[in-house]
Structure 1
């Protein structure tokens, strides 16, 4: 069985709502890790409606950090939790959302993360998130998949740390150039999916959607990894 795990920075859900819905539907994700999800003004209802429009449901609680994990009907949600990461004076509060899902006897602990523009905060939160993921994965005997907006590129410290602990899915099985920001003229790969090394990465790349929708929906492009699970 192949599971599609994606990551998408929603830019606060303040751009073209119809285009955003179409892009998420085009991603065909079984699990979608989102960042900059709505955090005010009927945020629960807005998140739920967006997820439902693409056949998904919001699995994780809370609004901390604007991160959430959306899950499709093919998967069973065993557990979900959200964490506020260590605060840094003067910086936005960051969070980690985690959902443990099961498909054909395989369990995945999937986390959504949005790292800061500050390099020291990024590095600390990357390590903190991995430690939290390892704790949850260990409790449920699940393989880790951590995805999100890293706010730096593959040669920089936090990305290198994540890629040292987990497999950078695009580096393993690239589909396209992987560039994700800015959406209108992508020049940087700052959004990624990282998976436990015992998971088979089939491919990792962008979403086949009209350019007008991709540029109208958000300032980031989504990234989706296909992972082979089970036998």
Structure 2
């Protein structure tokens, strides 16, 4: 581990996690799937997954087009966690955050997984445009993630569209408990919104201190980046993480259902 808390390559299990607001698959889904496949993620935290007519078939079809399966997700709040072939899904949870009159319902999708004997809790969320609601919901996320950490005995990574910039209240609440991947190990570019004219970083990946972060940011492969404006209205965030394996001969502490 180097001075920034980055685990040196080869010292653990490498994991590629992509966070992406897909705008209900209303744009060019062929371009979108091309972007996801091109970055070869083990896990994808999805925001604004389809919620209306034919939502299940559309989500399943998108996952299949990306070479992934759904590890967690429900219709409400438009969240999902998708998993690749290396990932062994073990448990899933779905939580609706406190209702705020007049605003969209927000939530938290959790997938508990194992990758090469390394356990991980993966969570996807999408906070509101309203600052008061964001701050209240961020506090609820902290409680729910701590409960999952105790229940499953695994580290947490939280990814999502936070509709807020670094330094603002909800972001800072999360950053005091989890590490902001881009701040720890910036890679690629920072701005995630909008895809056509990126100026603001409102999407992020946060991780527990025991998870190594080798790099995090908007990936800039020129061929794949050319698809960003057509795919959706956000740019993706790619985090290169490193996990600790369970000790040989010792179970991870998490069992499949």
Q: TM-score, normalised by structure 2?
A: 0.87
1:125-164 map, 5 Å:
125-164=137-176
* 1:225 aligns to 2:233 (yes or no): no
Match of 1:29 in 2: 41
| In structure 2, C-alpha distance between the alignment counterparts of 1:195 and 1:122, rounded to whole Å | 19
Q: Measure, in 2, the Cα distance between the counterparts of 1:21 and 1:6.
A: 12
Q: CA deviation at 1:99?
A: 0.2
Equivalent residue number for residue 72 of structure 2: 60
1:39 aligned partner: 51
C-alpha distance in structure 2 between counterparts of 1:43 and 1:152, whole Å = 27
Matched residue, 1:98 = 110
- How many Å separate the matches in 1 of 2:45 and 2:173? 20
Distance in 2 (alpha carbons) for counterparts of 1:203 and 1:113: 21
Output the CA distance in 2 between the equivalents of 1:7 and 1:33: 5
Measured against aligned partners, the alpha-carbon deviations of 1:151-187 in whole angstroms (never above 9, x if no partner) come to 0100111111111110000100000231100001100
Partner of 1:123: 135
Stretches of structure 2 that go unaligned for 5 or more consecutive residues are 1-12, 246-257
Q: TM-score, normalised by structure 1?
A: 0.97
Aligned Cα RMSD in Å? Answer: 1.1
**What does residue 199 of structure 1 align with?**
211
Aligned residues: 231
From 72, 75, 89, the equivalent of 2:101 is 89
List structure 1 segments (4+ residues) > 3 angstroms apart after TM superposition.
Answer: 209-212
Match of 1:214 among 228, 252, 257: 228
Rg larger for: 2
Describe the SS at the equivalent of 1:19: helix
Alpha carbons 1:104, 1:230 under 8 Å: kept: no
Q: Which runs of 5+ in 1 are unaligned?
A: none
- Aligned partners of 1:124 and 1:22: how far apart in 2? 36
Q: How many Å apart are 1:212 and its aligned residue?
A: 3.5
